[in-house]
Amino acid sequence: MAAAAIAPLIRSMNSVVGGVIVTGEHLPTPYPTLTVMRGDHPVPGRNSFAASAKIEEVAAGRRGTDVALVLISGGTSSMIGAPLRGMSSADLTVLYEQLLGSGLDIRAVNAVRKRFSRWAAGRLALALAPAATFCFAISDVAGDDLSVIGSGPCVPDETTVRDVSAILQRANLLPRLPQTHRDFLGSVSRGSTPETPRKTHPAFAHVKARVIGNVKSAVEGAAARAREQGIDAEVVRALLVGEAAAAGESIAHRMLAVRADAAHSGDGKSRCVIWGGETTVTLTGPGSIGTARAAGGGRCQELALAAARTLHEVGGVGPEITILAAGTDGRDGATDAAGAVIDGTTWSTIAAGDRDPRASLASHESHGALRVAHALIPRRETGTNVNDIVIGLVR
């Protein structure tokens, strides 16, 4: 995104006086005055905190004659995540870990995150003012809401402390919240500390923000490529949401129906169905969220393992039906995988490898089970994120 933005600026004789790019891997800078730094994902760590400090340095001292470009893609909330002044980085890390296993959707998760994150809820726009700020975002959230994408660093926040408290209560997280965060919410409730920046703040008069890409472009692109290969392709318009395991079962049943239709037609053509969206995994059991994150697997892997169980239970499917589930950013949770590809033989292959796939699914440990079946897609950096994509193929 940064490289593409720089090219027309240089052609139009503008000076790129500085900036910072925060990404998921070490990359060369596309321009000498830009610093490239790594951020942490899905939980902020020392890399994210260092990147946040660099952003503060770059944003400081902007003038009304300056133009600032803010380019946002998936993972922003974590990769530039840093605590508010007076709060500890350790407490912010705990909060992010708790939210990961809460089962809350991304809108609710980011409503909580931006309460406590240095650049969220429009605070970056305030730091850049009075510079003219243009924010271009690639959306990784349903509805393409700029206040949710990346926790809304350049747009106002309309949620209230009451909204955030209700979300935390619903997820049973309020009693487990770090004490500094509970104290902060109490201070805002009493009016001693102001709410997050509202749309009436003068800094937002200097900001123009828009979405320039989303999951629709990804699924439509995948469908177009399938058709080029001579495959009948259908895009499911409804976004993929809900618990990952339940979504995997539903997708497997859908592909079984497509298989039956294909057999009935007798035209010999392969068919695929493509979904885009983001499911959730609600972590349960005695293990800590940190343990589950490290040993378990992401939502795409859990979806794939649940789909494999359904195909196995129906029986007789074999490799005719293949289902891929992966993150478009090339990563799925805190694992070395982008997702997984399964078929009707995956479940039995796991079982034959002395691993109980049913127990693995129940304990949210899909990663190890899928590794036994060589079903994992290796992690890779794609440079952006527009949610997850699931492709079901009937040969």
Name the least confident of 3-7, 203-207, 225-229. 3-7
pLDDT: is 167 or 384 the higher one?
167
- Give the tens place of pLDDT for each residue, 22-66: 998 888 999 999 999 999 988 999 999 999 999 999 999 999 999
Domain assignments of the chain as residue spans, ordered by start: 2-213, 215-394
Mean pLDDT of 182-189: 95
pLDDT of residue 195: 95
- In percent, how much of the chain has pLDDT > 90? 83
pLDDT of residue 333: 86
**CA atoms of 63 and 16, how far apart (whole Å):** 15
Average pLDDT, the chain: 93
Could you tell me which CATH class the domain 215-394 is placed in?
Answer: alpha beta
Residue 299: CA count within 13 A, CB half-sphere: 27
pLDDT at 109 over 50: yes
pLDDT: is 357 or 382 the higher one?
357
pLDDT of residue 287: 42
- Give the tens place of pLDDT for each residue, 119-141: 999 999 999 999 999 999 999 88
Please indicate whether the domains covering 2-213 and 215-394 agree at the CATH topology level: no
pTM: 0.78
pLDDT of residue 142: 81
Fold of the 2-213 domain: Rossmann fold (3.40.50)
Q: What confidence category does residue 296 fall into, taking pLDDT thresholds of 50, 70 and 90?
A: confident
